[in-house]
């Protein structure tokens, strides 16, 4: 017997509004299976329906997709969050884009809140791939006309895609929460390593706080081990806000928090856009003693990986507004005017 996993998205029936007229734009929203709850939230905020989709994963892991209504001439937005297993959800989104292209969608926008393979954005040594560029090429080859993502790990990824890229920032969402809950006059924004200094600088400008940087270097007395964390900036007696674009295994951010506590920080908060939370991340974060860890829902967090003091803010309103601006040929940049 053929074994397969079938997911069918069936929203409430669409109201009958008559035939679609030639030349009249119409928006259609599609959801992958990685995180349909996020797409459903976006759809509700926009007042649109998710297009019913039949998606099947066969026993040999091949994927089949069919949209259950006409997409001809549509302005299509395909939302997929790339959580583990990342490769499966990339392939599903590529197949969805290909199906839309072959069904005569007029414009196809890939909405990837967490861009897959973003950390492989350059060659560090010979014979290495640039996988972030490969992903962009795959989306373009499949038929995508536009790409939308939140807080790319590296800004140059915008240049990998041969077409418009809408780079959304979660900084306003996260910082507004911080301002509403904490006294920022006693706060220092901290970059957990040298690679995140520009991000920390943006946070510091927005919150009007002091800035500190943690520099990791190898202990000269211990081979092959990063053991020394030099803190540049004032942290003693202050609440320190560690900022990053993602928390994966949480090793870097937890080591940074310990270094700040050792240098007299009154408390440590963490804020990051993407909660990857791989492997030992949850145990490490719980053991480190953060005052609060604030993330967005660009990726799904299953109930068993939610913990105190984790706070999850919704990115759906930002995505919904950006999709609306793109559909109406407006300005996505205007969403962030005065925010930097």
Residue 21 a catalytic site member: no
* CA-closest candidate to residue 8, choices 50, 53, 38, 72: 53
Q: Which of 101, 106, 140, 216 is catalytic?
A: 216
Tens of pLDDT, residue by residue over 285-312, are: 999 999 999 999 999 999 999 999 999 9
> What does the chain come to in residues?
340
State the Cα–Cα distance between residues 241 and 261, nearest whole angstrom.
12
State the Cα–Cα distance between residues 83 and 87, nearest whole angstrom.
9
The model carries a pTM of 0.90
Q: Record the tokens describing residue 232, joined without a space.
A: 């540049």
The CA radius of gyration of the chain, in Å to the nearest whole number, is: 22
Beta sheet of 165-168, edge-to-edge order: 27-31, 75-79, 107-112, 146-150, 165-168
pLDDT at 19 over 60: no
Q: Does residue 35 sit within a domain?
A: yes
Q: Does residue 340 sit within a domain?
A: no
Q: What is the pLDDT of residue 5?
A: 53
Angle of helix 281-288 relative to helix 251-262, nearest 10 degrees, comes to 10
Is the same domain home to 21 and 142?
yes
Residue 229: pLDDT band by 50, 70, 90 thresholds?
confident
Tens of pLDDT, residue by residue over 139-178, are: 999 999 999 999 999 999 999 999 999 999 999 999 999 9
Location of structure tokens 């908060």: 269
Q: Does residue 281 sit within a domain?
A: yes
Residue 135 belongs to domain with CATH number = 3.40.50.2020
Overall domain count for the chain: 2
Is the same domain home to 88 and 37?
yes
pLDDT at 91 over 50: yes
b (16+ CB within 10 A) / e for 327-338: beeeebeebbee
b (16+ CB within 10 A) / e for 46-74: bebbbbbbebebeeeeebebebeeebebb
Give the residue numbers spanning the domain of 109: 4-169+317-330
Task: Say which residue, 9 or 22, is predicted with more confidence.
Answer: 22
**For 23-70, where are the alpha helices, taking DSSP H only?**
36-46
């Amino acid at each position: 017997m053929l074994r397969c996993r079938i997911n069918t998205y069936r929203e409430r029936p669409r109201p009958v509004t008559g035939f679609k007229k030639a030349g009249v734009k119409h928006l259609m929203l599609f959801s992958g299976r990685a995180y349909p709850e996020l797409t459903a939230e976006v759809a509700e905020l926009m007042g649109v329906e998710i297009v019913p989709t039949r998606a099947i994963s066969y026993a040999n892991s091949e994927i089949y997709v069919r949209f259950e209504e006409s997409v001809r001439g549509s302005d299509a937005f395909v939302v997929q969050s790339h959580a583990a297993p990342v490769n499966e959800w990339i392939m599903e989104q590529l197949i969805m884009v290909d199906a839309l292209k072959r069904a005569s969608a007029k414009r196809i926008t890939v909405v990837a809140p967490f861009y897959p393979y973003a950390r492989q954005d350059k060659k560090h040594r010979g014979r290495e791939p640039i996988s972030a560029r490969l992903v962009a090429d795959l989306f373009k080859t499949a038929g995508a006309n536009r790409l939308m993502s939140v807080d790319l790990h590296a800004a140059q990824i915008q240049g990998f895609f041969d077409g418009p890229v809408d780079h959304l920032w979660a900084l306003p969402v996260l910082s507004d929460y911080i301002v509403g809950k904490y006294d920022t006059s006693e706060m220092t924004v901290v970059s957990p390593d040298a690679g995140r200094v520009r991000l920390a600088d943006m946070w510091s400008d927005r919150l009007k706080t002091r800035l500190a940087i943690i520099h990791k270097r190898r202990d000269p007395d211990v081979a092959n081990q990063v053991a020394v964390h030099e803190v540049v900036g004032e942290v003693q007696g202050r609440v320190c806000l560690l900022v990053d674009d993602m928390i994966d295994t949480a090793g870097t951010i937890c080591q940074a928090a310990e270094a700040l506590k050792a240098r007299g920080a009154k408390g440590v908060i963490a804020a990051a856009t993407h909660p990857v939370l791989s492997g030992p991340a949850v145990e490490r974060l719980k053991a480190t003693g953060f005052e609060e860890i604030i993330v967005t829902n660009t990726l799904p967090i299953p109930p068993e990986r939610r913990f105190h003091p984790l706070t999850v803010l919704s990115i759906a309103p930002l995505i919904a507004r950006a999709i609306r601006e793109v559909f109406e040929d407006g300005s996505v940049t205007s969403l962030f005017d005065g925010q930097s």
